[in-house]
Amino acid sequence: MDTLLTADVAARNPRERRRSSTYVDAIHDMPENGELAPAQLYSTESGRLFHSGRIVIVTVGLPARGKTHLSVALARYLRWLGVKTQVFHLGDYRRAHVGPGKDVPEDYFHVDASPASVLMRQKILKKCRDDIYFFLNNEKGQVAIYDAVNPLAAGRRSLAKEFSKHDAQTLFIESACDDEKIIEENVRSVKISSPDYIGWDEKDAVKHYLARMRAKIPHFETMEEPDLNYIKMINAGERITVNNCTFGYLSHRIVFYLLNLHIKSRHTYFARAGTSSEEDSYKADANLSEQGAEYARKMGETLLAHRDKERQAMIHRGGPDVPLKPLTVWTSTRRRTVETSQYLYEKGYRVRQRSQMSQLNPGVCEKKSEKRIRMEYPDEVAKHEQDPYHHRYPRAEVSDDLSGCNRWADGLMGWLSRIMISQSA
């Protein structure tokens, strides 16, 4: 795997991009042959899951509605499940076609474009779809995500028919948004930093992008086709509509993921719990030590000071003088983690305890140093180094147990999706 791929190379050569998207989309690569992805149920010789056919996910939506963000997030999730997934961004193919530093004709994004612009669009679309078929037919791909606007109902029906000829189900995901604040935030934070606007003044970039967006609005048709499989996300997940989407395990998994996906921007802070009075004992579930309690206080003070600094910086940049988004603290159910959050709780912040965040039970390795573990369990150490996610020391918990919780959710997921489908019918 070529890990030296840069965004520059990816823009010039979309097929190179597919070799590794680490530097472009920040999606992890698939495991090598013989290895399982973290939440993968099983492996097959073909590399595809038996109980799921080939799927092309087609994004739908006006610019600045979060389609690309959604595509990347979904690809990360499906790869975590062990599904060979690749995103095909039509914008990359457009940039590759015209070359670095160049742009398409002014009317390229208009419905009534000139014959030359229409021909260019067709060439770019053909290149993108050829790569999708190559991925599905020659690279043992199972899910291809086609990231584009796809504004017209007739065009979407044509896509579904075309992909069906290639033995692939089509699932449309529309990202709809009428909240101007969300749209403006997306334009400023994401779109003007795209390769299309390298070297542009921020105000000019925003103006140009909004003009491009307005050119599509009069001709956009929201998804209402009863015969197609689609999921419609409205205002970054405030409301979701599901139509059909009953063609197997993966479709249910995708629905479940989108029901729990957060698209709006937010900050996440990670902190270690303070040290306990019996640091090496898992069974003891000990309280914080004096040093641990002092750490908890200083950590809370540092976090609140950092958030206040962020707020002042936002105001300095011209933002509104309003409080930051509410802070919620998540801890495990272990005493030292709950006590570490006590300072923030006393300051009025909400604290939630989650058993899934608890330390894994070390089993026979409790209170043993790494050196002693290697001496007593050399075979287990070798297995663990080969596959640390799935390997289990005797009487211990393993990271894969947490993904088991997700497998348990399959029944609930299918039930929820059936309810939503019946409501939208």
Residues labelled as active-site residues: 147
Provide the sign of the torsion angle of the four alpha carbons 18, 24, 25, 27, taken in this order. positive
Q: How far apart are the first and last CA of the chain?
A: 45
Q: DSSP code of 288?
A: B
Q: DSSP code of 356?
A: G
Q: Tokens representing 375?
A: 């001496």
Contact 187, 210 (CB under 8 A): yes
Tell how far CA 217 is from the center of its chain: 27
Q: Tokens representing 223?
A: 């998804």
Rounded Cα–Cα distance for residues 14 and 145 (Å): 14
The DSSP secondary structure of 175-198, one letter per residue, reads EE---HHHHHHHHHHTGGGSGGGT
Rounded Cα–Cα distance for residues 241 and 421 (Å): 8
Classify residue 199 by burial, with Cβ atoms within 10 Å: 0-12, 13-18, 19+.
Answer: exposed
